[in-house]
Amino acid sequence: MDDKAEKIALFRYGVVASLVLEALPRGELTRRAQEIAARQYDIPNSSRRSLSVDTLLEWALNYRKNGIAALAPKPRQDRGQARAITPETATLIERLKRENPHRTGTALLRELALAGEHNQAGLSASTLYRFLRARGLTERQLLLAKATAHKKYEAEYANQIWQSDMLFGPWVRRAGGGKMQVFLQAILDDASRLIPHAQFYPNQGLDCFLDCLRQAVASRGLPTRLYMDNAKIYRSPQLARIAAGIGILIVHTPPYQPEGRGKIERWFRSARELFLANLDPKAPLSIEQLNERLWHWIDTVYHRTEHSALKTTPLLRWQRDIERIRQLPPATDLRRLFFHRVNRLVRRDSTFLLQNRFFEAPPHLAGKQIEVRFDPLDPTQLEIYWEGHAQGIARLVDTVVNGQLPAPKKEDQ
């Protein structure tokens, strides 16, 4: 699928993931779909902000049958037909209702008239009320959503919810001399407080987070949901593609509302007070030594110490639900699932540029747009795909060798 279709498919997966990642009774499936339909969304390539229950259930069914490809858009069948409420009017109604949830339907119709929405002059009250209910904009829906926004929660089973965040770490000894600051990427299981993986990295980039997530999945299986903040790297298309491929629902906590990640914030406090505070600042470690000490502390101290809220240790609490843990099939190449995918144009000399280095593609791909898949932390092997089919491995251009090769002979005119 093209970039536009993939963006829409990944959005649809993110919306219905909670409907397909767990086996749900029919009543619970419908209830969850109604909750999802009551929210507002920034829908790619659309001015609409809401989704119907029927649409959500259809997407969920399509994904179960044929995976992420089944969520790619198909041409509209109603193109050119009139709709009851125009996108412009829908946006105005939503803004007015959210400004004042107590605003009545009569007041809304009057506001539309004052706003000069002449094309909506014939809008009936019943049509307006159906629209409000479908978008979760009734007075009751808006006030209930506001009242329940900050309720405490806890996952019922291990791996239902993982929380992830980043902590600014200490300064360590640089391999080539000097010092550098490192950053702690960590993932915590909500039900057991177990740490599937945590590691200090030399930067805060997406590559480091994806490496942490990959090792967490390899060590403790698949979560159903992964809660993170709204940082740019956590909204990367790479992460969305990986999550859809392995069946994880990514949930972003609203801006300025860190309650959804409260447990990992408390773990970071414990890591600072019980681990980092015991390091000798006069004897800086290398990043490798720091990580070895971190993993030893997590495995032998944190995981085996009784948690005050659990009345048991994180390890024992996690092991209680071990039969429920989702695992990838044994033959799965987890490293390849986490490969980055980028598009590149192959030049006339059959080379393309990636990370400031030139690589060679097969000659028949010259002038074509290809997809390159690779491990960002170890870009020594680049897999080339064209129109969805593997085309081999790219080779790093050796300019010295190329300079020694004879120039191609010109054809006689």
Indicate the angle between helix axes 3-20 and 26-37, nearest 10 degrees: 130
**Are 135 and 198 in a shared domain?**
no
**Taking CA 96 as the corner, what is the angle to CA 92 and CA 99, rounded to the nearest 5 degrees?**
140
Is the pTM higher than 0.75? The answer reads no
Which residues 6+ apart lie within 8 Å of 398 measured at CB? none
Q: Give the burial class of 182: count Cβ atoms within 10 A of its Cβ; 0-12 exposed, 13-18 middle, 19 or more buried.
A: buried
Q: Which two tokens stand for residue 91?
A: 């946006």
Structure tokens at 230: 């709204």
The whole-angstrom separation of Cα 59 and Cα 56 is 5
Query: Residue 394 and residue 382: Cα distance in Å, rounded?
Result: 5
Asked if residue 153 belongs to a domain, the reply is no
* Whether 191 and 137 share a structural domain: no
- Beta-bridge mates of residue 163: 188, 227
Side chain identity, residue 235: R
Q: Which two tokens stand for residue 384?
A: 């080339």
Residue 142 and residue 180 share a domain? no
Specify if 152 maps to a domain: no
Q: Are residues 174 and 236 in the same domain?
A: yes
DSSP summary character for residue 59: H
Question: DSSP 3-state assignment of 317?
Answer: helix
The residue from 17, 44, 71 where one domain ends is 71
Residues 139 and 217 in one domain: no
How far apart (Å, rounded) are the C-alpha atoms in residues 380 and 363?
Answer: 20
User: Is 41 found in the same domain as 179?
Assistant: no
Q: How far is CA 255 from CA 16, 17, 228, 252, in A?
A: 22, 22, 11, 9
Domain span at residue 301?
161-324
Domain end position, chosen among 324, 356, 372: 324
Same domain, residue pair 110 and 252:
no
Q: Are residues 220 and 295 in the same domain?
A: yes
Listed residues 12, 42, 71: the one ending a domain: 71
Q: CATH number for the domain including 358?
A: 2.40.50.100
DSSP 121: T
Give the total number of structural domains in the chain.
Answer: 4
What DSSP string runs through 223-292? Answer: -SEEEE---GGGG-HHHHHHHHHHT-EEEEPPTT-GGGGHHHHHHHHHIIIIIGGGS-TTSPPBHHHHHH
Question: For residue 323, what pLDDT is reported?
Answer: 93
> Is the separation of the CB atoms in 192 and 161 below 8 Å?
no
User: What are the tokens at 292?
Assistant: 């070895």
Size of the chain, expressed as the number of residues it contains: 413
Q: How far apart are CA 138 and CA 147, in angstroms?
A: 14
Encoding tokens for residue 81?
């037909």
Query: Per the domain annotation, does 329 fall within a domain?
Result: no
170 and 208 part of one domain: yes
CATH number at residue 275: 3.30.420.10
- Is the domain of 140 the same as that of 60? no
In a domain, residue 81? The reply is no
Is residue 194, in this structure, part of any structural domain at all? yes
Residue 299 located in a structural domain: yes
In a domain, 80, yes or no: no
CA distances from 185 to 164, 212, 232, 309 (A): 8, 7, 15, 24
Reading the chain (413 residues) residue by residue, the pLDDT tens digits are 677 788 888 888 888 888 888 777 878 888 888 888 888 888 887 778 888 888 888 888 888 888 888 888 765 544 444 356 777 788 788 878 887 888 888 888 877 777 664 445 567 777 888 888 888 888 887 777 665 554 556 788 999 999 999 999 999 999 888 899 999 999 999 999 999 999 999 998 899 999 999 999 999 999 999 998 877 888 888 888 888 888 898 888 765 455 556 899 999 999 999 999 999 888 889 999 999 999 999 999 999 999 988 899 999 999 999 999 999 888 888 888 888 888 999 999 999 998 888 999 999 999 999 999 988 877 778 999 998 899 999 988 876 555 555 554 544 44
User: How confident is the model at residue 403, as a pLDDT?
Assistant: 53
What local confidence, expressed as pLDDT, does residue 118 receive? 46
In this structure, the answer to whether residues 297 and 182 fall within a common structural domain is yes
State the Cα–Cα distance between residues 169 and 182, nearest whole angstrom.
Answer: 5
pLDDT of residue 408: 47
Q: Are residues 369 and 293 in the same domain?
A: no
The answer to whether residue 288 is domain-embedded is yes
